[in-house]
Amino acid sequence: MRFRHPDGTTVHLGYCSNVHQAEDLDGVLAQLATYAEPVRARLGVDRLGIGLWLARDVVARLVEETGELKRLKDELAARGLETVTLNAFPYAGFHREVVKKDVYLPDWADEARLRHTLDCARVLAALLPDDAERGSVSTLPLAWRTPWPADVAERARRALDRLTTGLATIESDTGRRVRVGFEPEPGCVVETTAQAVRELRGLDPERLGVCLDACHLAVQFEEPGAALRRLADAGLPVVKLQASCAVEAADPADPAARAALRRLAEPRFLHQTRTAAAQEDPGVRGVDDLPDALDGGLPTDTGPWRVHFHAPLHADPEPPLRTTADQLSRVLAGLLGGDAADCDHIEVETYTWSVLPDPPADLAGGIASELAWARDRFTDLGLKEDHQ
């Protein structure tokens, strides 16, 4: 969906296809028919944005075979879908039985990560609607935090310089600008906006910036207004926002809360968990997975716990748990509620539907409800839906 900000900016809203399992092109095309087009129909719109996640093998095929790239573009158009952003964070195998820390491989010290990201940018340049101002690609925040010795960090920094050059080449070749956003995430080299400033300051803001994930921001107990000001003051653009909610336990000592959290402690994805004290006390940084917290790795008397579990935007989790939807609303207000739109690519990213304690029978309906929730927030902020 497209919206018009009062300043005239077109703001794109869509959902990320990493919620769907598919690691070949035929599977991706089937997703569009099975889920994305029905989501569009549920919303009653002529055009729906979809942020594609394309596994490495799919991207390589699209780069090598222009006919297959045209096939994908034609299928998007035929189903009333458009793509202005790709999620290049997961490389492959995102729906294996166990993903956990493998999602951070290859990291930015590995040549494969640079090659994949530039290939994604080239594919996106071909998929962009003719009237889209630019595209965006999101990627991991350099690497998992350990091991990260100085020589590896330097190799990654050189890769970012080559990324900038490669993006400039793609723009020269295609006439389309694509920016890459690094996504701060708990447990990584770049966890917070302060670390983003430390690690990414000085990069070319026309091509590189931050992909802000509202769930991650909440898990780190970052206050949205301060976080956004920090990035702006450092000249780091928010290339893309992933509209997402974390799960919060207000009283992690409550047996009912612990029982509900235990039902979220599933084996596929990593669910980093933080306590409110983590922001003030470096000694309480949190733990890398929810089972560790529940087994005594995190104190229960230092305030709420927040869990890296992308919860549906529109629905409450099992009581007494709640989500950080209010914080997401503040992030949206900070980016879109002012005189100027400070981000024009918003992607709903709830990839955890399949690992909920009670997965929905109607996934398309759930995604449509999330997008409707976001649409209401946009309207409340004064944006108007831009109908075709």
Contact in structure between 374 and 348 (CB atoms under 8 Å): yes
How many other C-beta atoms can be found within 10 angstroms of the C-beta atom of residue 324? 24
Q: For the chain, how many residues are written?
A: 388
* Buried/exposed code over 134-162 (b: 16+ C-beta within 10 A; e: otherwise): bbbbbbbbbbbbeebeeebeeebeebbee
* pLDDT score of 387: 80
Whether the pTM exceeds 0.95: the reply is: yes
* pLDDT score of 302: 87
* pLDDT score of 77: 97
Q: How far apart are CA 56 and CA 215, in angstroms?
A: 25
Contact in structure between 16 and 347 (CB atoms under 8 Å): yes
* pLDDT score of 218: 97
Can you give the residue ranges of every domain in the chain? Answer: 2-245+321-385
Omega prior to 320 cis, within 30 of 0: yes
Q: How far apart are CA 11 and CA 13, in angstroms?
A: 7
Q: How far apart are CA 86 and CA 69, in angstroms?
A: 14
Q: Among candidates 346, 268, 251, which has minimal Cα distance to 306?
A: 251
Contact in structure between 206 and 147 (CB atoms under 8 Å): no
* pLDDT score of 41: 97
Written as one string, the DSSP assignment of 224-252 is HHHHHHHHHHTT--EEEEEE-EEEEES-T
Cα–chain center distance at 236: 17
Reading the block at residue 167, the tokens are 């993006």
* pLDDT score of 162: 98
Q: Decide which of 3.20.20.150, 3.50.50.60, 1.20.970.10, 3.40.190.10 is the CATH code for 2-245+321-385.
A: 3.20.20.150
Q: How far apart are CA 34 and CA 40, in angstroms?
A: 11
* pLDDT score of 277: 73
Q: How far apart are CA 147 and CA 374, in angstroms?
A: 38
Q: How far apart are CA 203 and CA 148, in angstroms?
A: 20
* pLDDT score of 276: 83
Reading the block at residue 166, the tokens are 């490669």
pLDDT tens, per residue, the chain with 388 residues: 999 999 999 999 999 999 999 999 999 999 999 999 999 999 999 999 999 999 999 999 999 999 999 999 999 999 999 999 999 999 999 999 999 999 999 999 999 999 999 999 999 999 999 999 999 999 999 999 999 999 999 999 999 999 999 999 999 999 999 999 999 999 999 999 999 999 999 999 999 999 999 999 999 999 999 999 999 999 999 999 999 999 999 999 999 999 999 999 999 999 999 998 755 665 557 999 999 999 999 999 989 999 999 999 999 999 999 999 999 999 999 999 999 999 999 999 999 999 999 999 999 999 999 999 999 999 999 999 998 6
Omega prior to 291 cis, within 30 of 0: no
3-state secondary structure of 116: helix
